[in-house]
């Protein structure tokens, strides 16, 4: 019996030109390259100047469509995951729909699940493809976190960066086996009792402004290690695989110590865990597709590889996806 799967047939990423180093930051707040490097693994991050989140998303989506050899008219669904949209409403996705030139009627919406946004969006798009509601989708994570960071707060401003990543999904026929190409398993979670632990201190209905990022770093740190590894392990098991079968783990890129701990918990050798936090910082919903696209482009991740995306973010939200490329 045939079985519809969502295959990743294109990938793209985009980073704004301006690079901010740890030394640059040490001229803005009381910090040092030594502190930031050892505590977070971050060396540089990209920061938007004139561009908007939709510009970052557009460039990533264009690249992904080109890698997929697809035109905009073939797109049935656009989902953008972001906490930093151009406008409160309408969505970045509708702006993109117009700019990419997709057909009228193409579904377009944003989702907000913070750093888990991309895996949430990927899961929804996969579900719509498997239900036969759409045949193709462009799923994007795009953020201008520099716009909601308090640049006088050294606890947070050193952690974040801007950028966008995208994938193109296409319905393909599989056999329903775990050797199929495409998304093999997804799992999402949330625990709203942690609402206050990582948030902006403002918003439309509360303060009428976006606010700045605030977090309980230690609580986030602990929770991230547990949730990222648990979600990854769950989708690996759902797919009928063992941790040792995985070719690549792409965890949310927040902090090198979180990433290393997750790799260790899963028993994965260091070489199988993708790291991009050193040159991206934490780009929230963009972090996984950015790291994925960079490593597809470099040829490190290859067609046929078994890959796990695992993310955790504000809410708290978390989740993972298992994919055969």
Pairwise CA distance, residues 11 & 32, whole Å: 35
Question: Do the beta carbons of residue 137 and residue 258 sit within 8 Å?
Answer: no
For position 285 contacting ligand ACO by CB under 6 A, the verdict is: no
The distance in angstroms from the start CA to the end CA of the chain is 21
Which of the ranges 84-92, 125-133, 154-162, 233-241 carries the binding residues for ligand ACO, by CB under 6 A? Answer: 154-162
Residue 115 known to be catalytic: yes
* Only segment of 33-41, 96-104, 140-148, 272-280 that touches ligand ACO (CB under 6 A): 33-41
Check residue 158 for interaction with ligand ACO (CB under 6 A): yes
Report how far apart, in Å, the C-alpha atoms of 178 and of each of 119, 175, 235, 246, 279 are: 20, 9, 12, 12, 34
Burial classification of residue 194, based on how many CB atoms lie within 10 Å of its CB (0-12 exposed, 13-18 middle, 19 or more buried):
middle
# residues near ligand ACO by CB under 6 A? 23
The answer to whether the CB of 282 falls within 8 A of the CB of 311 is no
Residue closer to ligand ACO, measured from CB, 9 or 198: 198
Q: Does residue 198 interact with ligand ACO by CB under 6 A?
A: yes
Q: Which residue in the list 13, 212, 252, 280 is annotated as catalytic?
A: 252
159 binds ligand ACO (CB under 6 A): yes
Judged by CB under 6 A, does residue 119 bind ligand ACO? Answer: no
Helix (H, G, I), strand (E, B) or coil at 157: helix
157 catalytic per annotation: no
Least distance between ligand ACO and beta carbon 14 (Å): 20
Q: What is the per-residue binding string for ligand ACO in 221-260, x denoting contact by CB under 6 A? A: x--x---------------------------x-xx-----
**DSSP summary character for residue 88:** S
Residue of 13, 22, 115, 280 with catalytic role: 115
Locate all alpha helices (DSSP H) within 168-216, ordered by sequence: none
Say how far apart CA 12 and CA 62 lie, in whole Å.
Answer: 7
154 contacts ligand ACO (rule: CB under 6 A): yes
The helix (run of H) or strand (run of E) holding residue 258 is helix 256-265
The residue within the footprint of ligand ACO, chosen from 48, 75, 113, 115 (CB under 6 A), is: 115
Among 60, 108, 113, 220, binds ligand ACO (CB under 6 A): 220
Question: What does DSSP say about strands 213-215 and 19-21: parallel, antiparallel, or unpaired?
Answer: unpaired
Residue closest to 162 by CA, chosen among 246, 59, 239, 48: 48
Min dist. Cβ of residue 224 to ligand ACO (A)? 4
Nearer to ligand ACO, 17 or 218 (CB): 218
In whole angstroms, give the CA distance from residue 312 to residue 188. Answer: 10
Under rule CB under 6 A, residue 181 binds ligand ACO: no
In the residue annotation, 3 being an active-site residue is answered as no
Asked whether position 38 contacts ligand ACO by CB under 6 A, the answer is no
Q: Does residue 39 touch ligand ACO according to CB under 6 A?
A: yes
Between CA 280 and CA 183 the distance in angstroms is: 26
Q: How many other CB atoms are found less than 10 A from the CB of residue 71?
A: 12
CB atoms within 10 A of CB 172: 17
CB of 90 to ligand ACO, least distance (A): 27
Binding site for ligand ACO (CB under 6 A): 31, 35-36, 39-40, 115, 154-155, 158-159, 198, 215, 217-218, 220-221, 224, 252, 254-255, 282, 312-313
Catalytic residues: 115, 252, 282
């Amino acid at each position: 019996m045939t079985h519809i799967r969502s295959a990743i047939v294109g990938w793209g990423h985009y980073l704004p030109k301006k690079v901010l180093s740890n030394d640059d930051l040490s001229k803005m707040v009381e910090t040092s390259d030594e502190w930031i490097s050892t505590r977070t693994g971050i060396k540089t991050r990209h920061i938007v100047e004139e561009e908007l989140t939709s510009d970052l998303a557009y460039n990533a989506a264009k690249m992904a469509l080109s890698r997929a050899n697809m035109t905009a008219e073939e797109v049935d669904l656009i989902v953008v995951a972001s906490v930093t949209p151009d406008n409160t409403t309408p969505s970045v996705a509708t702006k993109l729909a117009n700019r990419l030139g997709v057909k009228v009627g193409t579904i377009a919406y944003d989702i907000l699940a913070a750093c888990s946004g991309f895996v949430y969006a990927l899961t929804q798009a996969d579900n719509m493809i498997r239900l036969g509601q759409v045949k193709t989708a462009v799923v994007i994570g795009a953020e201008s976190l520099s716009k909601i960071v308090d640049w006088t707060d050294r606890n947070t401003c050193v952690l974040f960066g801007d950028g966008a990543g995208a994938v193109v999904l296409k319905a393909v026929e599989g056999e329903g086996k775990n050797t199929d190409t495409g998304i093999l398993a997804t799992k999402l979670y949330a625990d709203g009792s942690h609402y206050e632990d990582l948030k902006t201190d403002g918003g439309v209905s509360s303060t009428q402004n976006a606010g700045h990022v605030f977090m309980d770093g230690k609580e986030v740190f602990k929770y991230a290690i547990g949730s990222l590894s648990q979600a990854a392990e769950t989708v690996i098991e759902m797919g009928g695989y063992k941790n040792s079968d995985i070719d690549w783990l792409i965890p949310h890129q927040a902090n090198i110590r979180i990433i290393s701990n997750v790799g260790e918990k899963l028993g994965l050798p260091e070489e199988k865990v993708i790291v991009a936090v050193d040159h991206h910082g934490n780009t929230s919903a963009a972090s996984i597709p950015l790291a994925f696209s960079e490593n597809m482009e470099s040829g490190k991740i290859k067609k046929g590889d078994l890959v796990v995306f695992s993310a955790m973010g504000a809410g708290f939200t978390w989740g993972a996806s298992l994919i055969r490329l």
